[in-house]
Amino acid sequence: MIRFPLEDKRTQNTLAMVAKTHKEDNLNIKPELYNLWLDSLCETVKKHDPEFTSGLEALWTEHMQEAINIILAEY
Ligand code: HEM
């Protein structure tokens, strides 16, 4: 997710695997947990990246939300 764009086949394969493990009949990661997860990720980046800006946060949010949408489509 961090190293490759969403269009990359490796990202798509990994997301397909994560979607399978996180879905209802497996780990059952409830859809509402993803927003909390994304907030925590942004908080962490804010705390530890000295080059943090609100623009960077928006990029993280946008990129991860697209991945979350792909995972949740399989839930
Ligand atoms: C974009 C969102 C997420 C990504 C890319 C992601 C990715 C991963 C990956 C790569 C693994 C290890 C391999 C696997 O089991 O599939 C994993 C495991 C796991 N994830 Fe996520 N995850 C995401 C969101 C979440 C959320 C929101 C939760 C719950 C709050 C969660 C809970 C877990 C759990 C419980 C495991 C298993 C850990 C273990 O086996 O020790 N994940 N996740």
Closest CA to ligand 1's atom 4: 18
Domain assignment of residue 42, yes or no: yes
Q: What rounded mean pLDDT belongs to the chain?
A: 95
What local confidence, expressed as pLDDT, does residue 11 receive? 93
Instruction: Report residue 58's pLDDT band, with 50, 70 and 90 as the boundaries.
Output: very high
pLDDT at residue 2 is higher than 80 = no
- List the CATH number of the domain containing 34: 1.10.490.10
Q: Is there a domain that residue 45 lies in?
A: yes
How many folded domains does the chain comprise? 1
64 lines ligand 1 (CB under 6 A): yes
What pLDDT was estimated at residue 12?
94
* Residues 46, 61: Cα–Cα separation, whole Å: 12
Q: What is the domain extent for residue 58? A: 9-73
Q: Taking the model in full, what pTM does it have?
A: 0.90
Tell the residue nearest (CA) to atom 39 of ligand 1: 27
With pLDDT > 90 as the criterion, what percentage of the chain qualifies?
92
Question: 10 in the Ramachandran plot: left (φ > 0), alpha (ψ -120 to 50) or beta?
Answer: alpha
Closest residue (by CA) to atom 2 of ligand 1?
Answer: 68
Residues 18, 29 contacting (CB under 8 angstroms): no
Does residue 66 fall inside a structural domain?
Answer: yes
